[in-house]
Structure 1
Amino acid sequence: MVDGFAVVVSAGTFRSDGEGLVHFPHRWTPEGVAVEADFTGAHLLHLAAAGCVLNDVYREAARLGIPLGGVRVSATGGFNTENWTSTGISYSVMLDSSAPPADLDRLVEIVDGVAEIPRAIRAGARVSRSAG
Structure 2
Amino acid sequence: SLKVGQKDQTLPIAPKPTGGSSVTGGELLFLALATCFCNDIYREGAKRGFTVTSVEVEVDGDFEAERMPASNIVYRVKVNADAGEEEIHELVMYVDSIAEIQNTLRLGTPVKLEI
The answer to whether the 8 Å contact 2:41/2:52 transfers is no
Between the aligned partners of 1:104 and 1:54, the Cα distance in structure 2 is: 13
In the alignment, what sits opposite 1:72?
Answer: 56
1:92 equivalent to 2:68? Answer no
Percent identity of equivalent pairs: 36
CA offset digits 1:70-122 (Å, max 9, x no partner): 11111110013153211131111111223110000000000010000000000
- The structure with more helix, counted as a fraction of residues: 2
SS at structure 2 position matched to 1:80: coil
Q: Which has the larger radius of gyration?
A: 2
- Identify the match of residue 102 of structure 1 among 76, 86, 89: 86
5+ residue gaps, structure 1? 1-21, 23-37
The answer to whether the 8 Å contact 2:42/2:51 transfers is no
TM score, norm. by length of structure 2: 0.76
Q: Which has the higher contact order (CA 8 A, sep 6+)?
A: 1
SS at structure 2 position matched to 1:69: strand
TM score, norm. by length of structure 1: 0.67
SS at structure 2 position matched to 1:39: coil
- The structure with more strand, counted as a fraction of residues: 1
1:56 equivalent to 2:72? Answer no
CA-atom RMSD, angstroms? 1.6
Give the CA deviation at 1:69.
Answer: 1.1
CA offset digits 1:26-54 (Å, max 9, x no partner): xxxxxxxxxxxx71011111111111000
Segments of 4+ moved more than 4 angstroms:
none
In the alignment, what sits opposite 2:98?
Answer: 114
- Number of aligned residues: 95
SS at structure 2 position matched to 1:81: coil
Between the aligned partners of 1:117 and 1:82, the Cα distance in structure 2 is: 23
5+ residue gaps, structure 2? 1-10, 12-21
